[in-house]
Every structure is written in C-alpha cells, then in structure tokens.
Structure 1
Amino acid sequence: MIFKPVTHVLFDMDGLILNTENLYTIAFQNILSRFGKDYTFELKQRLMGLQSLETAKLIIKELDLPMTVEEFLEESNKEFEKLFPDTQVLPGAARLIEHFSKHKVPIGLATSSSLESYHLKTDKHHQQLFSLFPYKTFGSSEPEVKNGKPSPDIFIVAASKFPQQPTPDQCLVFEDAVNGVKAARAAGMQVVMVPDPRVNKKDTEEATLVLKSLEDFKPELFGLPPFENEQ
C-alpha cells in the first residue's frame, strides 16, 4: 500500500497512549453489576470515542437502566476517581511521542475525554509525557466539538489549533477505536489503527494502516523522520 507523506500528527489518548479503555470497562461494569447487567465488548465498541453525555445516554437506553443521565455520570465519576490516577502508558506510545517532539513534528492530542478526566489520568504519573503535546483538544469539554466520534468534529478542531494549519491530507491520526478511524477518515485524514485484538478484522478496513502495537510503527512510511539507527 502507498501512503501519502504528512506533516502533522494527531493522537487519540484512551486505549492508544494510556490503558484507560480497560479502566472504563471496570468502572462501567462496577455500576452495571448493581443492576445485574453486563458491559459487553459489543456495547463498548459502540461507545468508544463518544463524548461523556453521549456515552451515558446510550448505556442507559441500551441496558434499560433505572438511572438518569446525571446519576450515571455522577456514579461514573466516582469510579474514575478511584481508577484513573494509576493509568499506564501503552507499549511504543512514549517512544513515538518523544521522537516526534524531538524532531519538531507538530503533534496534537485529540481525545473525547473531558479536561477533568484528562487530569485524573495524567497528573499523577504522566505530566512530563503529555507536556510534549503543545495542542490538546478535549471532546467532552470543548463546545466547538459538537459531536463525538465517528463524526469528524474533534479532528477538524484539533487540526485547526496548529499555528500553520495543515490541510486534512497533511494530517496523520493514531487511533485504537473503530469510531475513531471513521472520524479521521470523515475528516479526510489518513489513520493508523492499533485495535483491541477482539475487534473484527472487517471493522479495521477503513484504516490506512493497522498495527498490533505502536512499537511497530515506521515513521518514514509517511514521510516523517525515521527512528535513529533504523531504516
């Protein structure tokens, strides 16, 4: 496959840089278990990339929960406060972010998380790594991002924050979720996907490139500076 060279890079966060998708599963299952319900992977896939409000509405509707959206969000936040401070960086993520930063490749964070959730996930252990992102977009906190993924809003807004605004075809997105890939493609951008192993291969076909891990990414495929001592 031929890839087009890019100049700017956008990263999703949950499930790509941090292991928070696993923590979301634990948090939501803790809530649902009170009502004898299961948080299935099928439902999880539909939720990945949605904003907080959209997530709460869909879970309540799909599982017929006797809760209001406000109650679900409140219970979720209690779970997040317990789980998110001890997030872990996923393999290859820090190396890639540090590499782009070192070589002055413009990078931005494009996460559906709220600003509050972001701080819960990063402040304790990962401030230094995330300080390398000069531009950050928080889908659940910024009114400009009107719709969550798979709508392209977040990537369009994130790209607009670069001082020298790139065209969509100059942007490369890193994602783990099917909704995120759809959003990037809808924004006119190439996208590298690192999916959960349980994702059906057919659901990864829209991605420009599919990898098992960020450790396997070769920047030069997209015209970006290669890792030192590697061809």
Structure 2
Amino acid sequence: MASTRKFKPVTHVIFDMDGLLLDTEDIYTKVFEELVAPYGHTFDWTIKARMMGVTPQEGARYLIQKLDLPITEEQYHEWCAKRYAELMPTAKLLPGAEKVVRHLHKHKVPVGLSTGSDAEKFNTKTTNHREFFKLFDPLVTCGSDPEVKHGKPHADAFLVPATRFPDKPDPAQCLAFEDSPNGVDSALNAGMQVVMVPHPKLDRSLCTKGTLVLDSLEDFCPEEFGLPAYDS
C-alpha cells in the first residue's frame, strides 16, 4: 500500500556512509573499547554518540580529553589505523542500502556521499564494495577534503557536496540520510530535510530532530519526498 506521508519534494540525495550504508559502527565500538580498556575505562554509547559523524581528528581530541587518556593524538591515530586496516574491510552493506541507492541511480536521481572519514579510511572501508561506491557523485571525504573547514555537526559536510552536483541545487532541494545526531544537525544546519536511521543502541532521546526517523533503510518510501517510487 502506498504511503500517505508527504514531505517537501527533493531532487538530489546525499548519503552518510558509516552506520548508514556500511555496517562499521560495531567495528568502531570494538576498536575504541580495546583502545581505552588498558587505562581502566569503558567506551559506552554516551561517548560514542558524541563521536559519531565527526572527523577522525575531532574524534581523537574528544576521546582523549573526555577520558584523560595518557596518549597523544598521533599514538591514537596510529593504533586505530592498524586495527581499522584489519577489521574495516569486513564491513558489510546494511539492509536496504543497495536497494535505495541503485533505485535512485536507475531513475537518474543524483546521489552524493558525505563521510566523516578521510580518503585513506574510506578506501579501507570500501575494499569489498568498490562498484557500489562508484554510484556516488560527488563523493566527499570530510576528514581530508580541504573545502570542509568544519566537520559535523557544522553545515560544511552537506553544503560542500551540494555545490559539487553539476547543476548546483539549492540545499533545500537535497535530502540527506544520516544515522548520527551530529550528522542530522549538520544536514539541518545546511537547510536540508534529513532521514535518520539510527543504530538500535543509540539513545532514542537523541533521535528527535530528523525530518523522518526510520528503523531501517528498507522502510524508506521515495515517493514521500517526491522521488520515483520503487517498481512494483
């Protein structure tokens, strides 16, 4: 049965990656748990929620200061890079991710990507999904893109990819997809509607700002935003 919900129609779509398209959040959790455990700390979802969506540099500064870790940012990045290289290539696409992206691409809806990762980490994470990620244009790696002056929750992470679509749409014409509170704030600050698909363990009190909040990308109905409906 067709959905009766209606939102402002859009023409372009910009996706986050970690925790939305790729199942990397549990890998991040494992890595950070391993990092802080030797110093007598626990990495929980209160801390994780604050780190989701930010650049690697901002995440490092926050975690080191929050837990008063006796390590430098350089040591943090070196240790994490080693574990990411071992674990991130195993990340799988989340349910509904391939369906929605390939559907939009098939119907010639421009789809972009904005990830807090830098280019190197993006390449590691997408090792087994190269063809899928070729569908995104533009593709912005906020952690290493010189035009992204400020990471999420600032607007740069979504304004920059919007300007890189060939027809340079108004941000209001773009629909953002996010899983993190920082990412949702970034999209809203950019003047976009945003569909939030949070991790099941994320505190639901942090999931109230999205234009639409879904349990899974499988629940997304494109026609609610004026996009082509799925083929029956």
User: SS in structure 2 opposite 1:109?
Assistant: strand
Aligned to 2:227: 224
Aligned to 1:214: 217
Are 1:69 and 2:73 an aligned pair? yes
Aligned to 2:125: 121
User: SS in structure 2 opposite 1:191?
Assistant: strand
1:142-170 superposed Cα distances (whole Å, 9 cap, x missing partner) = 12111111111110001111000110110
User: SS in structure 1 opposite 2:202?
Assistant: coil
1:179-220 superposed Cα distances (whole Å, 9 cap, x missing partner) = 100110000000000012233333222100000000000000
Structure 1: which amino acid aligns with 2:176? Answer: V
User: SS in structure 2 opposite 1:66?
Assistant: coil
Aligned to 2:205: 202
Structure 2: which amino acid aligns with 1:154? Answer: A
Q: 1: CA distance between counterparts of 2:27 and 2:50? A: 16
Does the 8 Å CA contact 2:180/2:196 hold for their aligned counterparts? yes
Q: 1: CA distance between counterparts of 2:205 and 2:55? A: 25
Could you list the runs of 5+ residues in structure 2 that have no partner in the other structure?
none
Q: 2: CA distance between counterparts of 1:18 and 1:36? A: 30
Q: Which runs of 4+ in 1 moved over 6 A?
A: none
Q: 2: CA distance between counterparts of 1:103 and 1:118? A: 26
Aligned to 1:20: 24
Are 1:161 and 2:175 an aligned pair? no
1:78-126 superposed Cα distances (whole Å, 9 cap, x missing partner) = 1101111111000000000100111110000000011100110112x10
Aligned to 1:173: 176
Task: Choose the corresponding residue for 1:39, options 37, 43, 47.
Answer: 43
Does the 8 Å CA contact 2:6/2:225 hold for their aligned counterparts? no
Q: 1: CA distance between counterparts of 2:153 and 2:74? A: 24
The TM-score with structure 2 as length reference comes to: 0.96
**Superposed CA RMSD:** 0.9
Q: 1: CA distance between counterparts of 2:201 and 2:18? A: 16
1:25 Cα offset (Å): 0.7
Question: What percent identity do the matched residue pairs reach?
Answer: 48
Q: 2: CA distance between counterparts of 1:64 and 1:57? A: 10
Shift of the 2–15 alpha-carbon distance from structure 1 to 2, 3 Å rule, reads: same
1:21-68 superposed Cα distances (whole Å, 9 cap, x missing partner) = 111111111111121211110000000011111111111000111101
Structure 1: which amino acid aligns with 2:122? Answer: Y
Q: 1: CA distance between counterparts of 2:171 and 2:205? A: 25
Aligned to 1:141: 144
Aligned to 1:96: 100
The TM-score with structure 1 as length reference comes to: 0.96
Q: 2: CA distance between counterparts of 1:221 and 1:161? A: 25
Range moving further from structure 2, 157-166 or 1-10: 1-10
1:2 Cα offset (Å): 4.0
Q: 1: CA distance between counterparts of 2:201 and 2:22? A: 18
